[in-house]
């Protein structure tokens, strides 16, 4: 039997009114949803570009309709060498063709490139040399949902304040990361967060790796349903068991368990004006007018826990608009796959000399396969009804 609590009806009414009264704040008078011609709202701006329209960025409630947003392109196994410059595009040129546009850069000005067989991310000074420098961030165009992800990296952290990062993070604030700081270039720091709770006390550094900015070292994030392990050159740095993250107060495993984006970045932590960040990264970040700090990624491999995602068909802007009249709501709500996470008890947070696992394919589960854009056939009111129905489903 379906049961609703007394609080459910007011809650649904509020959420429905939030959708009806939604606004993409930097569009027009700031009181309207995005228009049909630029249907996707991200950070208060409307656009029809894939960067705006893919869920995780795209805000369904403030877009032209909830169905204007595109599904996330799910993880696919890959072995990437950086020999083709066209595999990296700037965000405004990203069309969602994830097999050819494997990476996209987001910072302006854009100091990321594929050159000399490497993905190169650069940090450069501003005109005011004491101000925060301009760094680079590059995203993998497919989202990842558990698996083993390995990159050969030469950090750019050659001086105090320069931070290099290899991060898996989602819109909810779940994160798994490697970070290198110029203050301590002989090791790499590992950390994880859940729901944007920034607990820096959980950071664990590696043993001495030598100068991480002078040589390529292979780094691996092994993200499984019941554990996360970090490796450098095949040597285990640490493992966090999901079972150890149980929070009695909230009744939650504070363990990253939702689909996320993978990125590389280099940024200025020494001239931010934020004492905690500056103390951590080292400060000030030294600049002259022609200073360039560079991070290099020589190769990248992904072995996904869930398969069947090789085919992804991006929507066109016209289909994003037309889907607002579709009776199909999956494109606004598809964020991954249902899965059962193991909670087998094990040691809480350990470090040994075990070698990195070579295969995660034995794990069970699968994402949905190819996405096909929905056909338009109904009215916007149907989308709203389905939106409310999805809320009811979540409450029962």
Tell me the β-bridge partners of 193.
Answer: 175
Residue 379: per-residue pLDDT: 31
- Look at residue 311 in the predicted model and tell me its pLDDT: 81
% of the chain surpassing 90 pLDDT: 69
What structural domains and CATH numbers belong to the chain? 78-304 (2.60.120.200)
- Structural contact between residues 271 and 132, judged by C-beta atoms closer than 8 angstroms: yes
If one compares 251 and 386, the residue with the highest pLDDT of the two is 251
Do 386 and 332 touch, CB atoms closer than 8 A?
A: no
Report whether 165 contacts 261 (CB < 8 A). Answer: no
Residue 382 pLDDT greater than 80, yes or no: no
| pLDDT score, position 266 | 98
Distance, in Å, from the CA atom of 18 to the CA atom of 229, rounded to the nearest integer, reads 40
Distances (CA, A) of 70 to 64, 65, 125: 12, 11, 36
Residue pLDDT, tens place only, 336-364: 333 433 333 333 444 444 444 444 333 33
Beta bridge partners of 115: 118
Identify whether the C-beta of residue 190 lies closer than 8 Å to the C-beta of residue 253: no
Give the model's pLDDT for residue 79. Answer: 97
Instruction: Give the other-Cβ count within 10 Å of 113's Cβ.
Output: 17
Distance CA 277, CA 209 (A): 23
Using pLDDT thresholds of 50, 70 and 90, give the confidence band for residue 23: confident
What is the phi/psi pair of residue 286, to 5°? -80, 130
pLDDT tens-digit readout, 175-207 = 999 999 999 999 999 999 999 998 889 999 999
User: Starting from the edge strand earliest in sequence, which strands make up the sheet with 162-169, in order?
Assistant: 88-90, 103-105, 136-140, 261-268, 162-169, 175-181, 189-193, 204-205
Q: Are 293 and 268 in contact (CB under 8 A)?
A: no
pLDDT top residue among 269 and 3: 269
- pLDDT category of residue 124 using cuts at 50, 70 and 90: very high
How confident is the prediction for the chain on average, in pLDDT?
81
Is the distance from CB of 143 to CB of 73 less than 8 angstroms? yes
So what's the pLDDT on residue 316?
63
Work out the burial of residue 201: count CB atoms within 10 Å of its CB; fewer than 13 is exposed, 13-18 middle, 19 or more buried: exposed
Give per-residue pLDDT as tens, 301-346.
999 999 878 788 887 655 655 544 433 333 333 333 334 333 333 3
Rounded CA-CA distance 135/110 in Å is 8
Question: What average pLDDT does range 76-105 have in this prediction?
Answer: 97
Greater confidence (29 vs 1) lies with: 29
Most confident of 280-284, 315-319, 379-383: 280-284
Q: For 95-125, what is the HEC assignment?
A: CCCCCCCCEEECCCCCCEEEECCEEEEEEEC
Would the pLDDT of 292 be above 50?
yes
């Amino acid at each position: 039997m379906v049961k609703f609590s007394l609080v459910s009806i007011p809650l649904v009414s509020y959420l429905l009114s939030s959708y009806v009264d939604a606004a993409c704040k930097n569009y027009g008078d700031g009181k309207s949803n995005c228009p049909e011609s630029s249907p996707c709202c991200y950070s208060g701006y409307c656009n029809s570009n894939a960067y705006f329209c893919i869920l995780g960025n795209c805000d369904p409630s403030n877009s032209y309709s909830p169905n204007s947003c595109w599904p996330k392109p799910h993880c696919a196994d890959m072995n990437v060498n950086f020999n083709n410059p066209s595999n990296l595009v700037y965000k405004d040129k990203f069309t969602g063709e994830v097999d050819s546009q494997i990476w996209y850069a987001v910072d302006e000005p854009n100091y990321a490139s594929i050159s000399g067989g490497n993905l190169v991310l650069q940090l450069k000074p501003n005109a005011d040399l004491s101000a925060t420098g301009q760094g680079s961030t590059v995203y993998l165009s497919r989202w990842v949902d558990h698996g083993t992800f390995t990159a050969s990296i030469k950090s750019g952290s050659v001086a105090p304040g320069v931070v290099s990062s290899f991060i898996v993070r989602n819109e909810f604030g779940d994160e798994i990361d490697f970070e290198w700081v110029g203050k301590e270039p002989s090791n790499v720091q590992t950390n994880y967060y859940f729901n944007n709770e920034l607990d820096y006390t959980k950071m664990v550094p590696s043993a001495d790796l030598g100068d991480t900015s002078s040589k390529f070292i292979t780094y691996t994030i092994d993200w499984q349903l019941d554990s996360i392990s970090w490796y450098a050159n095949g040597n285990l740095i640490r493992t966090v068991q999901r079972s150890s993250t149980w929070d009695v107060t909230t009744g939650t495993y504070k363990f990253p368990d939702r689909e996320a984006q993978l990125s590389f970045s280099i940024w200025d932590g020494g001239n931010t004006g934020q004492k905690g960040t500056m103390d951590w990264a080292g400060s000030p970040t030294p600049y002259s007018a022609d200073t360039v700090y560079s991070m290099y990624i020589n190769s990248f491999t992904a072995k996904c826990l869930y398969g069947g995602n090789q085919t992804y068909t991006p929507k066109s802007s016209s289909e994003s608009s037309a889907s607002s009249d579709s009776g199909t709501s999956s494109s606004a709500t598809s964020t991954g796959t249902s899965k059962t996470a193991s909670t087998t008890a094990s040691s809480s947070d350990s470090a040994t000399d075990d070698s990195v696992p070579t295969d995660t394919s034995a794990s069970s589960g699968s994402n949905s396969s190819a996405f096909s854009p929905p056909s338009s056939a109904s009215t916007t009111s149907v989308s709203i009804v389905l939106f409310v129905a999805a809320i009811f489903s979540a409450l029962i």
